[in-house]
Amino acid sequence: MDAISVIRAKRDRHELSDEQIDWVIDAYTRGGVADEQMSALAMAILLNGMNRREIARWTAAMIASGERMEFSSLSRPTADKHSTGGVGDKITLPLAPLVAACGAAVPQLSGRGLGHTGGTLDKLESIPGWRATLSNAELLGVLDSTGAVICAAGDGLAPADKKLYALRDVTGTVEAIELIASSIMSKKIAEGTGSLVLDVKCGSGAFMKTEADARELAETMVGLGTDHGVRTVALLTDMATPLGLTAGNALEVRESVEVLAGGGPADVVELTLALAREMLAAAGLGDRDPAKALADGSAMDVWRRMISAQGGDPDAPLPRSREQHVVTAPTDGVLTRLDAYDIGVAAWRLGAGRARKEDPVQAAAGVELHAKPGDTVRAGTPLLTLHTDTEDRFAYALESLTAAYDIAPTGTEFTRRPIVLDRVG
């Protein structure tokens, strides 16, 4: 078998056979297929698509490129969650300990931010001493002792995906729904969880801008999970406006702790509870009430044990930025729009995100929101506070905010869009 025949088959809109898919993924992982050849195949897939059988086989081949984890030694059922990424999306931080407090084991393998979307590991690394990299034995130890672990995926998990993702990122093929779905699901299935809940976001701050595209991605991923024996469900959730009142790293950790303490922004609490209920139901624990675990402090207890088990100090002060800049409302009225993408770009430019995977991030950088759509604002009062350690970043960040919000006349009626738009699965 050779790469050119596989490329030509998909270029000419033919189905790839199981043998072709297995061969090309294995050969690319081992270096037998060149980057330029895989780039051509990825573009052909973007343009011509794959059917459900092809996507399932592609995913299986990527899983087979590395190791598979398993948690049969645990006394609890496992449940995991994956978000397709957004702005202010801190949900994993309160969600993992909350679900663990209700009796499930949560092996949450997470990633870092790139561009305008934040990364769970970057947020947690703002906690003094906390470490993201664990061996498989350490991961299992933390999971067994606390019920939840949030850490980086090991290099042995779906290495084909790691290599292919980097290639897609620089060849204009990231948008292929088939490749997005197989990328996410190959890692999650290889992780070995018994059930999976997907948070598929749509809106300006999400990767999928329209509800139709988000639904197609959700249905594809739910199908992949089902085909591989993982109980999978997806929620379509709104990402037109940032989640909560912060976008950054330490800022979002602080807000997550507020949620675990029984407070926090209403939208963050609502989505955390909605995902927790789905995870518990998928794990066979649908009779447990996550709201009770927030109220009685048991979720906070798990959080503290989980952070300590990974070297962090849950009582240590979080970093605070050396510089702040306040953006005030230009007029009285009702805030009717606060664009998630623009806020995410501002946080990125302030130092909360990275343009390349190797770039450092500032733990204290980000954007604090003082109002959300539907709120009444007054001229001259704070609308946003920008945080950074590097004062000369303010001008660049402010450029992204010139059209980030709309204010309508006082008395304008406003209907808030629901956080959870639909359920798939």
pLDDT digits (tens, 9 = 90+) for 119-165: 999 999 999 999 999 999 999 999 999 999 999 988 888 999 989 98
The residue type found at 203 is G
How far is it, in rounded angstroms, from Cα 181 to Cα 294? 32
pLDDT in tens, 309-359: 999 999 999 999 999 999 999 999 999 999 999 999 999 999 998 877 778
Residues 264-286 have a mean pLDDT of 97
The total of other beta-carbon atoms located within 10 Å of residue 102's CB is 25
Catalytically active residues are 82, 161, 168, 183, 187
Judge contact between 100 and 148, C-beta under 8 A.
yes
The residue type found at 317 is P
Percentage of residues in the chain with pLDDT exceeding 70? 100
What domains can be seen in the chain, in order of their start residue? 3-49 (1.20.970.10), 80-156+172-309 (3.40.1030.10), 323-408 (3.90.1170.30)
Judge contact between 109 and 151, C-beta under 8 A.
yes
Query: Taking the C-alpha atoms of 186, 189, 192 and 198 in order, what is their torsion angle to the nearest 10 degrees?
Result: 120
pLDDT in tens, 23-76: 999 999 999 999 999 999 999 999 999 999 999 999 999 999 999 898 988 999
How far is it, in rounded angstroms, from Cα 423 to Cα 425? 7
pLDDT-derived band of residue 14, with 50, 70 and 90 as boundaries?
very high
What local confidence, expressed as pLDDT, does residue 159 receive? Answer: 93
pTM of the model: 0.93
Judge contact between 356 and 340, C-beta under 8 A.
no
pLDDT in tens, 243-259: 999 999 999 999 999 99
Asked whether residue 170 carries a pLDDT value surpassing 90, the answer given is no
The string of DSSP letters for 3-18 reads HHHHHHHHHTTPPPPH
Judge contact between 328 and 380, C-beta under 8 A.
yes
Residues 210-226 have a mean pLDDT of 95
Strand partners, 388: 323
**Comparison of pLDDT for 140 and 174, the residue scoring more:** 140
Q: At what angle do helices 211-227 and 52-64 cross, to 10 degrees?
A: 60
Average pLDDT, the chain: 95
pLDDT-derived band of residue 112, with 50, 70 and 90 as boundaries?
confident
pLDDT-derived band of residue 116, with 50, 70 and 90 as boundaries?
confident
For the chain, the residue count is 425
How far is it, in rounded angstroms, from Cα 150 to Cα 139? 9
3-state helix, strand, coil in the chain (%, to 5): 45, 15, 40
Asked whether residue 96 carries a pLDDT value surpassing 80, the answer given is yes
How far is it, in rounded angstroms, from Cα 29 to Cα 1? 15
Phi, psi (degrees; rounded to nearest 5) at 38: -65, -30
Tokens of 355: 């343009």
> Going edge to edge, which strands form the sheet with 420-424?
80-83, 195-202, 231-238, 420-424
pLDDT-derived band of residue 362, with 50, 70 and 90 as boundaries?
very high
The sign of the dihedral angle between the CA atoms of 366, 206, 243, 79 is negative
Phi, psi (degrees; rounded to nearest 5) at 247: -140, 115
How far is it, in rounded angstroms, from Cα 89 to Cα 94? 11
Phi, psi (degrees; rounded to nearest 5) at 196: -145, 135
What local confidence, expressed as pLDDT, does residue 174 receive? Answer: 81
End-to-end CA distance of the chain: 37
The total of other beta-carbon atoms located within 10 Å of residue 355's CB is 10
What local confidence, expressed as pLDDT, does residue 165 receive? Answer: 85
How far is it, in rounded angstroms, from Cα 49 to Cα 381? 50
Of the given ranges (18-22, 58-62, 159-163, 378-382), which has the lowest mean pLDDT?
159-163
The total of other beta-carbon atoms located within 10 Å of residue 116's CB is 24
